[in-house]
């Protein structure tokens, strides 16, 4: 069987939980990076006590981040790249000790690539509330226990204010570009509205101006899947032995999410009605290949992510409304001063093209007037993580203009 770290790799043959465990072992109670684990290529920066929009203050907040390229003496070549819901600070290097998965944008960031690290200095932080080194629910609180369900309700605006604190610690006054896709695109848009003087160029990829009721509903069932796991224990599961955490609920949430990330045509063309095993599903003993695909990735996900973190970040996505406290969405968008690129994916059923059309129609200075760039991809929402040539061409255009 092929057990590569690439999220889209599916082993051949009939896959069961027992087979996965026979290769990978039991899943941990939490797949978060923890103190004492290999640091890998992470760097760390403390931003001190941080006040959330809820009014709760968290002491000693820390960011994990990675950098690529060299900051110019004038500090004018810095680009901030913001990851999606389950991403992290690894943009382009292979999985290695401390980094459980391959980089998520290897075709876009690096020497000679669209975000050319021979020219640009790239900063990629793990977002606030994350589980790969930045303070989040799996981090240790002053009482020696994990924050767990005590971690504050976190908004996209909270995450961006924290990133702005990180920016100040790094001594960067202005980003040449802030780039993000999906949840990272929400943050990129918030950056451009909240800190217009700090953002020269903006790329919003496969993201909306606010989360809709439909999108919130899709998120809510994922959260309930985790909370319904009997081993979730109200979020206090970190001291459970390996294999006793809420990995079944987290895996189910991941399966649900994958159905929104991929397009119906891609799944239909890829799997059709084929099954894996020698027994027909009509006989009660087989499994459709698409079921094995979902099970494999759901179970694999539990080995690199944390259940409380998933809830925290999904609820942060639900909070996204660029117009909140700003006289509405249109007023907020019209306040953006950055030269902007808005990208949608024609097969995206999570954040449809209509979301990007609305953003582009109200940003004052976009590359393509009042229209977004719409890329054709069979991969649905995940197209921005797969279509490197197409997405890279558009980002290179933004950086060159």
How many Cβ atoms are within 10 Å of 9's Cβ, its own excluded? 13
Q: What's 381's DSSP letter?
A: G
Polymer length in residues for the chain? 401
Share of the chain above pLDDT 70, in %: 89
Average pLDDT over residues 297-326: 94
Tell me whether residue 182 is one of the annotated catalytic residues: yes
Tell me whether residue 99 is one of the annotated catalytic residues: no
pLDDT one-digit tens code per residue, 339-374: 999 999 999 999 999 999 999 999 999 999 899 999
Average pLDDT over residues 364-387: 94
In angstroms, rounded to a whole number, what is the distance separating the alpha carbons of residues 194 and 257?
29
∠ CA 294-133-68, rounded to 5°: 95
Which top CATH class is 1-30+212-319?
mainly alpha
Global pTM exceeds 0.85: yes
In angstroms, rounded to a whole number, what is the distance separating the alpha carbons of residues 396 and 192?
19
Please say if the pLDDT value at position 3 is more than 50.
no
* Nearest CA among 189, 204, 179, 172 for reference residue 77: 172
Rounded to the nearest 10 degrees, the angle between the axes of helix 289-301 and helix 17-24 is 40
69 and 113 Cβ atoms separated by less than 8 Å: no
* Nearest CA among 343, 389, 347 for reference residue 363: 343
Average pLDDT of the chain to the nearest whole number? 90
pLDDT one-digit tens code per residue, 91-147: 999 999 999 999 999 999 999 999 999 999 999 999 999 999 999 999 999 999 999
- Distance between alpha carbon 244 and the CA centroid of its chain, in Å? 26
CA atoms within 13 A on the CB side of 299: 23
In angstroms, rounded to a whole number, what is the distance separating the alpha carbons of residues 82 and 164?
12
**E strand or H helix at 51, and its extent?**
strand 43-51
In angstroms, rounded to a whole number, what is the distance separating the alpha carbons of residues 184 and 161?
14
* Nearest CA among 117, 127, 132, 129 for reference residue 164: 127
320 and 210 Cβ atoms separated by less than 8 Å: yes
pLDDT one-digit tens code per residue, 36-91: 999 999 999 999 999 999 999 999 999 999 999 999 999 999 999 999 999 999 99
Domain ranges for the chain: 1-30+212-319
pLDDT of residue 350: 95
In angstroms, rounded to a whole number, what is the distance separating the alpha carbons of residues 399 and 307?
37
61 and 48 Cβ atoms separated by less than 8 Å: yes
Could you give phi then psi for residue 59, rounded to 5 degrees?
Answer: -80, 150
Average pLDDT over residues 172-186: 98
Q: Which residues pair with 342 in a beta bridge?
A: 204
* Nearest CA among 322, 315, 321, 305 for reference residue 152: 315
**Which residue in 89, 138, 139, 182 is the catalytic one?**
182
**Which residue in 348, 362, 377, 382 is the catalytic one?**
348
Q: Which residues pair with 110 in a beta bridge?
A: 116
**Which residue in 83, 88, 381, 382 is the catalytic one?**
381
Average pLDDT over residues 285-302: 77
Beta strands per DSSP E along 52-156 = 57-68, 78-82, 109-110, 115-116, 121-125
């Amino acid at each position: 069987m092929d057990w590569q770290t690439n999220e889209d790799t599916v082993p051949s043959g009939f896959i069961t939980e027992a087979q996965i465990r026979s290769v990978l072992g039991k899943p941990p109670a939490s797949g978060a990076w923890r103190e004492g684990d290999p640091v890998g290529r992470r760097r760390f920066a403390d931003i001190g006590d941080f006040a959330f929009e809820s009014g709760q203050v968290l002491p000693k907040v820390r960011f994990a981040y990675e950098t690529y390229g060299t900051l110019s003496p004038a500090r004018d070549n810095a680009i901030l790249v913001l990851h999606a819901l389950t991403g992290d600070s690894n943009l382009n290097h292979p999985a290695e000790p401390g980094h459980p998965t391959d980089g998520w944008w290897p075709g876009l960031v690096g020497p000679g690539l669209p975000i050319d690290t021979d020219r640009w200095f790239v900063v990629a932080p793990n977002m606030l509330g994350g589980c790969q080194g930045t303070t989040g629910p799996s981090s240790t609180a002053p009482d020696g226990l994990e924050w767990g369900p005590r971690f504050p309700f976190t908004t996209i605006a909270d995450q961006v204010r924290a990133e702005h604190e990180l920016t100040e610690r790094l001594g960067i006054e202005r980003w040449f570009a802030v780039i993000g896709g999906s949840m990272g695109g929400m943050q990129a848009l918030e950056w451009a509205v909240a800190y217009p003087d700090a953002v020269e160029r903006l790329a919003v990829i496969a993201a909306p101006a606010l989360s809709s009721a439909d999108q919130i509903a899709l998120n809510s069932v994922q959260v309930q899947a985790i909370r319904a796991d009997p081993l979730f224990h109200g979020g206090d599961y970190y001291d459970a032995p390996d294999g006793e955490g809420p990995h079944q609920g987290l895996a189910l949430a991941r399966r649900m999410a994958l159905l929104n990330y991929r397009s119906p045509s891609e799944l239909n063309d890829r799997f059709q009605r084929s099954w894996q095993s020698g027994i027909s599903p009509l006989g009660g003993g087989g499994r459709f290949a698409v079921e094995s695909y979902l099970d494999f990735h759901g179970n694999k996900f539990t080995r690199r992510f944390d259940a409380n973190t998933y809830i925290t970040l999904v609820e942060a996505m639900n909070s996204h409304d660029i117009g909140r406290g700003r006289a509405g969405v249109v007023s907020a968008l019209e306040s953006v001063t950055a030269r902007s690129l808005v990208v949608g994916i024609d097969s995206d059923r999570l954040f449809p093209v209509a979301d990007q059309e609305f953003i582009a129609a109200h940003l004052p200075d976009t590359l393509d007037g009042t229209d977004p760039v719409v890329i054709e991809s069979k991969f649905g929402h995940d197209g921005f993580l797969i279509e490197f040539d197409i997405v890279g061409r558009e980002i290179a255009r933004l950086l060159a203009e």
